[in-house]
Amino acid sequence: MAREKNTKTKIIAPQRGRQSPPVLPSPATEPETATAPQKKSFPKSGTTVIKAYLKNLTSSPGVYRMLDKDGTVLYVGKANNLKNRVASYTREKGQSNRIARMIRATTEMEFILTSTESEALLLEATLIKKMKPRYNVLLRDDKSFPSILIRTDHKAPQIVKHRGARKQKGHYFGPFASAGSVNRTLNTLQQLFLLRDCTDSQFESRTRPCLQYQIKRCSAPCTGHISLEDYQSLVNDATDFLRGKSTEIQSKMKDKMQKASQELEFEEAAFYRDRISALTQVQSHQSILPTGFEEGDIFAVHTEGGSASIQVFFIRTGQNWGNRAYYPRIDKSHTHSEILESFIAQFYDNKPVPKLVLTSIELENKTLLQEALSTKAERKIKVYAPQRGAKLELMNHAIKNAKEALARKLAEGSAQTHHLKSLQKLFSLNESPKRIEVYDNSHIQGSSPIGAMIVSGEEGFVKNQYRKFNFNTEEITANDDFEMMRIMLSRRLKALIKEHGTSKPVSDLPSSDAIPAWPDLLLIDGGKGQLSSVMEIIEELGVNDIAVVAISKGPDRNAGREQFHIKGQPSFTMELKDPSLYFLQRLRDEAHRFAIGTHRARRKKNMAANPLDEISGIGPGRKRALLTHFGSAKAVSRAGLKDLKAVDGISAQMAETIYDFFHDQSE
């Protein structure tokens, strides 16, 4: 983009003698590769340090970073005039408590010059997301949103759920608020338009229709049950539907149903009747939208008790494609305008920007944000707060959702805090645990073994810190749960020690996600054997300040009769109606769910593995030819050398390679 080509950036540090700041790559493309000058050790912190930088600062726009004595980034900010902005931090009076704490902790600053303030805003958002500074408004959950892709690079277009960069040829529809909303829409589209969702290799290797055809979710273009021309007509109808032309599609289906009925084709008429019914159901789930509002995102913010909730609604092709709640990390001193401006800039850092962005309040820097988003999208973007009409009604609905979401979040947080304090008392911990790690493993008679770790903290489950552990069958004995648990904890603790030191630090402050790196409590799914395996590795590594509790199922594996095992103490059970028991069960069940889901995914991958992929020289074309000729990989393995040579595209030498591969496999 133009801004990437013209941007000139520099990092500036206080000069010692005669030195000039190095020129760095464009921040819009590679901010992480910027190499700062070697850090200087400053004897002081606060305004004294900040004043030292003013001598070398220019009045150019750019981004600044404030760092503490350990080199940790405290704050990332942008300015149209760097010198004036930094000078504002030298005032010792009139600062908020948050800013005053930040200034006192600052021992060093770094600067990147940009061509315009809008470029500085985009770079600021990128750096905040990457560095997670303690004093910035931080978007903590930044997963990419799913969309629907109808591919156009195949004779029979495929419809799939898509995430990430839009590199494949086809029509993209989204974003949707969640994977669930995409899956529901895909199911509806398959019922309505009978489009395929199989891969190209599956499509090419089919000799008869699959189950999707049998349950009337695909028209089977792979086997010629529908002509490519008629299939393309279905694809066009699905594309029109996703573009908001559902009324026209419904009218067309009604005409076809009536025509089939008049011609006494009652089975065909019933088919169209069912499709019309499914389409009507989809339309009933769509919220009432303002006339003429075809595309846009709606952002509503609500704050209470130092916490914030931002509700985002996605409107595309005149349809409501879902909403989602966010809970950014803020300080009480942040205004609604500051929260929304920072949030929106970070939100669109890795997402396409719609034509219209509606906000619950008029933003102080609306023009700057509008210019930055327009630069990123390479087209005009409008940002404003609706004042009247249907758009205001829709915004009020979003604000109501934001208030209710924050109320639920605060209630859950209060209950979570209570549960953590209960665990402190129950397990005789020194303090309420801030990070709990729960471990479980899964396998079927030793096959596809998998280990799983889930994390819970003061705000509930922290899913972006879940981990899975793969085991090689050579390093464990089949069904040896004790060894699997020992290996899993060994890997985890060694990684912690390597990154954070030999033991849990006393001053283990919460990270930007409000959860420390070291766990306070380990919950192990298992009995005394698993506990002994874990304690063995803990003592071996010298990590003696973490509480470990094993949870085993009680008699007859009944929930509520679990036994708890702690080293040096007799096992015990809890009262059936004890809230702490329910909380521990929920933690264990989440670990079990994650372990089972991960194991199923690995087992499915192993089952789907084709031995032909392991043969050198076998690519998609030869693989397709072999499967088409013989019907399956198993049939290929049984084929004789003469039969293999008869396959189109398989030379005599390749036939010998294939034959030798399966012959050696059987020995």
CATH number at residue 123: 3.40.1440.10
DSSP 378-427: TS--EEE---SHHHHHHHHHHHHHHHHHHHHHHHHHHHHHHHHHHHHHHT
pLDDT at position 455, please? 93
Structure tokens at 311: 């509700």
Place of tokens 């499967």: 627
Question: 3-class DSSP state for residue 237?
Answer: helix
Tell me: do 570 and 654 sit in the same domain: no
**How many domains does one find in the chain?**
4
- Return d(Cα 431, Cα 425) in angstroms, integer: 9
- Return d(Cα 513, Cα 455) in angstroms, integer: 12
Tell me: do 316 and 381 sit in the same domain: yes
pLDDT at position 664, please? 57
**What's the CATH code of the domain at 490?**
3.30.420.340
pLDDT (tens digit, 9 = 90+) per residue, 198-208? 888 888 888 88
Q: How many residues does the chain have?
A: 667
Quick one: average pLDDT of 133-150? 81
Tell me: do 311 and 444 sit in the same domain: no
Q: Are 423 and 429 in contact (CB under 8 A)?
A: yes
Tell me: do 624 and 543 sit in the same domain: no
Distances (CA, A) of 653 to 378, 611, 614, 644, 660: 54, 19, 17, 10, 11
pLDDT at position 35, please? 41
Tell me: do 583 and 616 sit in the same domain: no
Q: Is the pLDDT of residue 603 over 70?
A: no
Tell me: do 586 and 438 sit in the same domain: yes
pLDDT band at 433 (very low <50, low <70, confident <90, very high): very high
Q: Is the peptide bond before 354 cis (omega within 30 degrees of 0)?
A: no
User: What DSSP character marks residue 120?
Assistant: H
Does the residue 360 lie in any domain?
yes
pLDDT band at 437 (very low <50, low <70, confident <90, very high): very high
Q: Which residue has the higher pLDDT, 472 or 582?
A: 582
Which of 177-181, 196-200, 397-401, 529-533 has the least mean pLDDT?
Answer: 177-181
Q: Are 466 and 457 in contact (CB under 8 A)?
A: no
**What's the CATH code of the domain at 308?**
3.30.420.10
What values do phi and psi take at 435, rounded to 5?
A: -140, 120
Q: Are 112 and 62 in contact (CB under 8 A)?
A: yes
pLDDT at position 14, please? 44
pLDDT (tens digit, 9 = 90+) per residue, 299-357? 999 998 788 999 998 888 777 777 888 888 888 888 999 999 999 998 888 788 888 99
Most confidently modeled of 267-276, 354-363, 642-651?
Answer: 354-363
Tell me: do 380 and 474 sit in the same domain: no
Q: Is the pLDDT of residue 531 over 50?
A: yes
Enclosing domain of residue 647: 611-666
Range 242-279 burial, b when 16+ CB lie within 10 A, else e: bebbbeebbeebeeebeebeeeeeeeebebbbebbebb
Dmax (CA) of the chain: 95
Structure tokens at 588: 């264990």
pLDDT at position 262, please? 84
Rounded (5°) CA angle 3-86-88:
130
Does the residue 308 lie in any domain?
yes
Tell me: do 589 and 441 sit in the same domain: yes
Q: Are 305 and 272 in contact (CB under 8 A)?
A: no
pLDDT band at 40 (very low <50, low <70, confident <90, very high): very low
**What's the CATH code of the domain at 630?**
1.10.150.20
Q: Which residue has the higher pLDDT, 359 or 637?
A: 359
Q: Are 106 and 67 in contact (CB under 8 A)?
A: yes
Does the residue 222 lie in any domain?
no
Alpha helices in 463-578 (DSSP H): 481-500, 528-541
Does the residue 274 lie in any domain?
no
pLDDT at position 36, please? 44
Structure tokens at 2: 């133009």
Distances (CA, A) of 96 to 138, 333, 521: 19, 7, 36
Q: Which of 375, 373, 372, 457 is nearest to 423 (CA)?
A: 457
Alpha helices in 194-245 (DSSP H): 200-205, 211-214, 228-242
Most confidently modeled of 281-285, 498-502, 511-515?
Answer: 498-502
Single-letter code of the amino acid located at 520? D
Tell me: do 538 and 504 sit in the same domain: yes
Structure tokens at 655: 């036939």
- Return d(Cα 30, Cα 27) in angstroms, integer: 5
Alpha carbon 380 to its chain centroid, in Å, reads 28
Q: Is the pLDDT of residue 575 over 70?
A: yes
Q: What percent of the chain has pLDDT over 70?
A: 84
pLDDT at position 560, please? 62
Does the residue 187 lie in any domain?
no
Tell me: do 531 and 643 sit in the same domain: no
Most confidently modeled of 12-26, 238-252, 264-278, 452-466?
Answer: 452-466
Q: Is the pLDDT of residue 667 over 50?
A: no
Structure tokens at 333: 């001193």
Instruction: Assign 3-class secondary structure to 328-372.
Output: CECCCCCCHHHHHHHHHHHHHHHCCCCCEEEECCCCCCHHHHHHH
What values do phi and psi take at 648, rounded to 5?
A: -60, 130
pLDDT at position 621, please? 81
pLDDT (tens digit, 9 = 90+) per residue, 148-164? 899 888 888 999 888 87
Most confidently modeled of 15-24, 330-339, 611-620, 631-640?
Answer: 330-339
Tell me: do 547 and 631 sit in the same domain: no
Tell me: do 60 and 79 sit in the same domain: yes
Place of tokens 């899975």: 468
Strand-pair category, 73-79 with 62-67: antiparallel
pLDDT at position 291, please? 56
Rounded (5°) CA angle 188-145-395:
90
Distances (CA, A) of 476 to 395, 445, 482, 529, 601: 57, 12, 10, 16, 20
Does the residue 523 lie in any domain?
yes
Boundary-marking domain end, from 103, 131, 159: 131
Quick one: average pLDDT of 563-575? 89
Q: Is the pLDDT of residue 633 over 90?
A: no
Does the residue 346 lie in any domain?
yes
Does the residue 256 lie in any domain?
no
pLDDT at position 225, please? 87
Distances (CA, A) of 295 to 43, 292, 313, 319: 54, 9, 11, 8
pLDDT (tens digit, 9 = 90+) per residue, 70-115? 888 999 999 999 999 999 998 877 788 888 889 989 999 999 999 8
Give the number of other Cβ atoms within 10 Å of residue 575's Cβ: 9
Boundary-marking domain end, from 114, 131, 148: 131
pLDDT band at 15 (very low <50, low <70, confident <90, very high): very low
Question: 3-class DSSP state for residue 470?
Answer: strand
First to last CA, the chain: 59
Boundary-marking domain end, from 131, 157, 172: 131
pLDDT band at 477 (very low <50, low <70, confident <90, very high): low
Q: What percent of the chain has pLDDT over 90?
A: 18
Distances (CA, A) of 530 to 484, 565, 599: 9, 10, 20
Structure tokens at 180: 């669930």
What residues are paired with 438 via a beta bridge?
454, 523
Q: What is the mean pLDDT of the chain?
A: 80
